[in-house]
């Protein structure tokens, strides 16, 4: 199984949700599963609405601390999945040596669009984001196991 890194902007909403879901779906696999943000300056906890959305799925984000993307953390076996095509473009531009490892999540699994940022919106939008990511991560895991 590949190592997985999920990347969004601040690493407080979408990518921690994706990380939590992937860890739950993969179980006790030895693969590295983590999340990072491209605009992280200070360590911050996961957004409270993201925490609540994940509690409904029996996944805890209470110990999450945001971390900035660092190319030194990328393993040879790692797949870097971004929440939007803009994140994908940013990483490929700034880290061209990683171009063959970076993909926007939804297009990678033959779904359309981007994972929309719920930041600053209501709980319902966070719940919808978590549901969308749950569907996407399940599809991703099926694809990686095939």
The answer to whether residue 68 is catalytic is no
- What would the 3-class secondary structure string for 77-106 be? CEEEEECCHHHHHHHHHHCHHHHHHEEEHH
Q: Is 6 left (phi over 0), alpha (psi -120 to 50) or beta?
A: beta
CA separation for the pair 83, 105 (Å, rounded):
6
Active-site residue flag, 117? yes
> 8, 13, 34, 129: which is the annotated catalytic residue?
8
Length of the chain counted residue by residue: 146
- Phi-psi bin for 144: left (phi > 0), alpha (psi -120 to 50), beta? alpha
Does 14 participate in catalysis according to the annotation? yes
Which is catalytic among the residues 3, 13, 14, 114?
14
> Which residues are known catalytic residues?
8, 14, 117
């Amino acid at each position: 199984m590949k190592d997985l890194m999920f990347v969004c902007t601040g690493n407080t909403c979408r990518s921690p949700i994706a990380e939590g879901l992937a860890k739950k779906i993969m179980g006790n696999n030895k693969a590295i599963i983590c999340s990072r943000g491209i605009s992280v300056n200070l360590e911050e906890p996961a957004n409270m609405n993201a925490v609540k959305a994940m509690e409904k799925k029996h996944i805890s984000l209470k110990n999450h601390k945001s971390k900035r993307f660092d190319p030194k953390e990328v393993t040879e076996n790692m797949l870097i999945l971004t929440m939007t095509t803009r994140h994908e473009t940013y990483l490929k531009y700034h880290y061209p040596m990683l171009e063959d490892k970076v993909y926007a999540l939804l297009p990678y699994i033959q779904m359309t669009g981007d994972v929309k940022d719920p930041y600053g919106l209501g709980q319902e939008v966070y719940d919808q984001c978590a549901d969308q990511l749950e569907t996407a991560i399940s599809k991703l895991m099926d694809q990686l196991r095939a």
